[in-house]
Amino acid sequence: MLSINLQRLTDKQPIMRYNESAWWLTLWKKSDEFGFLAQVQSQVLQQCLKDLDRAFSDGFDRKQPLKRMPRFKKKGSNDSFRFPQSVRVEGNRVFLPKIGLVRFRQSRPIEGLIRSATVSRRGKHWFVSILTAREIAEPIHQSSMVTGIDRGVVNLATLSDGSVFEGSKPLKRLAKKLAREQRKLARKTKFSNNWKKQRERITRLHIKIADARNDAIHKATTIISKNHAVIVLEDLRTKNMTASAKGSIDEPCTNVRQKAGLNRSILDMGWFEFYRQLEYKQRWRGGQVILINPRNTSRKCSACGFTDKVNRQTQAQFSCMACGHTENADVNAAKNILAAGYAVQACEGIGGYAPNEAGTRGAAMRPLPLAA
C-alpha cells in the first residue's frame, strides 16, 4: 500500500485512503500471490492500513510541519502489531486473537476496560502494551511552584533555583566499546552465523545505551514534575540543531568535527525525550509545560537585563559587563527562561499561552501561577 501511494504521489494522482485500501486487502487475501495474508488476524492488517492512512494525513497537515511522509522501515527495526479488540488477561497470561494465551510478566496492575494490545519486539525480547479506558478525576497538582529549566550538554537540566540534574551520557561512556564491536562485525562474513551473533551483541549494546539514557531522564523528569506545577522550557528544535554541518562539495562547511561532536552530545542527553516526558507527566498531575523563544536566554543578564555575547567569557560562567553580576551560566539562563514564561502569560492575558512542539497535539493550557 505504501509503495502504491508513493507512486501515486509521484504521478500526481490521489492516494488510496483507508476504505479503498481495505477493499484491496480483501481481494489480495483471496489471491494466490498474497494468500499468506489470510494467516494473519484480519484486524491486525486493518490496523496497519489505518496507521498508514493517518501517517499520510499527518504528512499533509500544515499544522504539523515536523511530520514527514511515511516511508519504509528497515526489516527488524521497531517491529510491532496491534490487536484492537478481543484481548483479555487471565492471571499471568494474556489472550491474543489467533495466537491464544501467552504467558507474560505484568509491570503494573491492569485497570479499566481493555481497548487494545500492541505487541512489539526489542532485540530478542517481545513486549505487550495494553491500552485501557477508565474514568479518572481531573488532576490538581499538589505543588504551586514554578521553575525555568535550561537543557545542556554538560548537565541534562539546570533549574532556576540552582538545582542540577546530571545526564548519564551512556553513549560517551560506551562509545569505545561500541566502535570495537562494530569493527569486529566489519571483519566477519556478512550473513554468516558469527556475523549474526556479533550483530546481536551490537543490538544489545545499543539497547543498554538507550535504557541508561531513558532511566536517567525518567528519574529527573519525575522529580521535577512532582515538585513543580508549571515548568518553562526553551522551544528547541532538536532536529534542526543536530543537522549535519558537512555542507556540499561546492559549499563545504567548517568545524565539521566540532559540530558532529556537539550533535552527539545533544542526542546523548535526549533533549526532546526530556521535554516529551515532562509534558505527559505534567498532564497526569494537572501541571503545565510552557515553551518559550530561546533567543538570547544564555546571553542576557538575569539581574539587569543587559544582553551581549561578551557576557559569556567561558562556557560555565556568566559575567555581566554592565552590572557585574556573576553566576553559573546555566542557572542564569534558567532564570531568564522562567522570566520569559511570565512574560508569555502577561502578553496573552488570562491563562497564558504555551506553544506546542510542532508535530505534537499538546494539552489544554491553564493559567500560569504567579507564585515562584
Among 170, 173, 176, CA closest to 210 = 170
> Of 53, 150, 268, 279, which is the active-site residue?
150
Three cell numbers, residue 247? 555542507
One of 53, 234, 279, 357 is an active-site residue; which one? 234
Cell numbers for 205, please give them: 549494546
Q: What are the cell numbers at 89?
A: 488477561
The catalytically annotated residue of 53, 268, 279, 330 is 330
First to last CA, the chain: 53
As a whole number of angstroms, the distance between CA 220 and CA 246 comes to 34
Pairing of strands 230-234, 146-151: parallel
Could you confirm whether 51 is annotated as catalytic? no
Is 150 a known active-site residue? Answer: yes
250 is catalytic: no
> Can you give the C-alpha Rg of the chain in angstroms?
25
Dihedral sign computed on CA atoms, order 229, 234, 239, 245: negative
Query: What contacts 304, CB < 8 A, 6 or more positions away?
Result: 320, 322, 323, 325
β-strand pairing of 146-151 with 125-133: unpaired
Among all residues, which ones are annotated catalytic?
Answer: 150, 234, 330
